[in-house]
Chains A and B, each alone.
Chain A
């Protein structure tokens, strides 16, 4: 007989905060260019000698380890869309948050964004707020 009750109310939990120190993370050259681009209201990627474009940009092209050239990307589209209804503790959110991934035609990679309005997967989108997290809406 399995005497497990399985009810979360019957369990004892210890909750707390781990003592963790602040850290500094270097975004690298390409990361810096990308962040600067966002501040200017632009998306930068890199174009490699193979013709492939990567977004966000990388420091090196994965095919031949050469440095690519920065290119500006335009006309993002919403590739994936999902809705967050609970916070990480299982509490119901007052208003669901829409989260999606935007991509660009002929470019590899994507950017995770907040989505406002009724944009659907496949729709062309425009950036409403050029700050983190990026907020996009139907173009």
Chain B
């Protein structure tokens, strides 16, 4: 069984500032990161592989630093990754064409997983378009997969309820964050992920795609800024941890 996971490199939203005076995003300190949603998709794929064997291939589209996402996927446990070097705008149409071509070049797949679009994603939801392009069924909002002797089941959020349904392969699924936290990259995989042999570098031309097929079908129209909010602080962590931190902050401000 081959599972392809579409992974994208985005920007850590915490490192993006908004310049209100110039009405633009200030990306000077922006740091790239693997889209957290895609890590959930990879986690789901790794669990299926652990239960029934097979191969997990991460497909990453992007320029320069996107290679790091491909390597990270390997460090998390993907058997290999394909890095499609693409410098143009990654619209929904572009992504669909590239991933479809990649699946074909890999010699097909049984299951293609994609995470839901991230905060700063310009491509829009990929899974639906991909399913249509491949002519495969789509499982939307999948929370997790169960591998059973009778076959593969998806647990998906359907009208607010977790619903279990059998998966008819080949299929495309859109994974949303469920109960399973993506695993940490494993040190022994981190150690080898940058070695040769784990990441293949492809480009559109090699896959026989013309510029026409990749042309963006959506453009960045502009930036709409929401109402300005008072400065706040998000306190993370477990309840006790958050309480300790909050107590510390309040005591620091001498409100407590």
- Chain B binds chain A: no
**Which chain B residues have a beta carbon within 8 Å of chain A's beta carbons?**
none
